[in-house]
Amino acid sequence: MLVKIHNAYRQTVAICDSDLLGKKLSSPDGLHEVDLTGGFFKGEEMSDERVLKIIQDANSEDATFNIVGKRACELAKQIGLVKDSGIKDVEGVPVALVLL
């Protein structure tokens, strides 16, 4: 799994399943598009345990999250960051945005 932390006014944590990097996803209705071809999601490869720790730490600091992929969304659900109702399906790939 890849994680990249963008620092600005508040942190934005980009998390995606490694096998998705380089893809561009679009919903059939054209309302949802996820571009994984640029540098936004191109972060450091990390273990599930490390990703969980980063999510917990960043969440306590009011970070926002962009989460793409089955494994990444499952980790976020595991600690209560997102629920099934907050996950969209884009070309069969789960996508969640957490904006505080």
Q: What is the CATH number of the domain that holds 57?
A: 3.30.1860.10
Q: Would you state the pLDDT for residue 31?
A: 84
Tens of pLDDT, residues 35-55? 999 999 999 999 999 999 999
Structural domains counted in the chain: 1
**Domain extent for 52:** 2-98
Tell me which residue has tokens 């505080």: 100
Q: Would you state the pLDDT for residue 96?
A: 96
Tens of pLDDT, residues 7-46? 988 999 999 999 999 999 998 888 889 999 999 999 999 9
Tokens representing residue 66 in the block: 């962009």
Tokens representing residue 8 in the block: 């600005």
Buried b (16+ CB within 10 A) or exposed e, 67-98: bbbebbbebbbeeebbeeeebeebeebbbbeb
